[in-house]
Amino acid sequence: MQEVVMFSGEWWSEPLGTWMAWTRATAAFFLFVFTAVTTMGVWEYFSPGGGPRRGIIGLDTTRGDRLFISLLGSAFIFLAWLGLMGPPLWAPLGIAILYMICVFLFV
């Protein structure tokens, strides 16, 4: 039996054998979204109001709006990359992180 190297493409995409088609990559994605929403909820509890500001797109956005915009944009980045380039997905991950930082700083 061939041993799978941790963090290889096979390791990330092999089924985990649960009731749904979970892989480590999908579990990591949902864990990130859950952690981000929970963190934003705790932040909103201790600092209500969301810090609305007018950014470069001309809309008043709160922290939650910026999180939603960054998650939506990241999904489009990954889908475009998969459609045009295919796997591996490390490059769009870097692009999505840079996009998220830019959204939180400038939008």
Domain boundaries of the chain, sorted by first residue: 1-47, 49-107
Spatial contact of 4 and 14, defined as CB atoms under 8 Å apart: yes
Place of tokens 């799978």: 4
* Overall average pLDDT of the 96-101 stretch: 97
Place of tokens 């609305």: 52
At residue 1, the pLDDT reads 52
pTM summary value: 0.79
What are 47's two structure tokens? 């600092």
For 76, the 3-state DSSP assignment is helix
Share of the chain above pLDDT 70, in %: 97
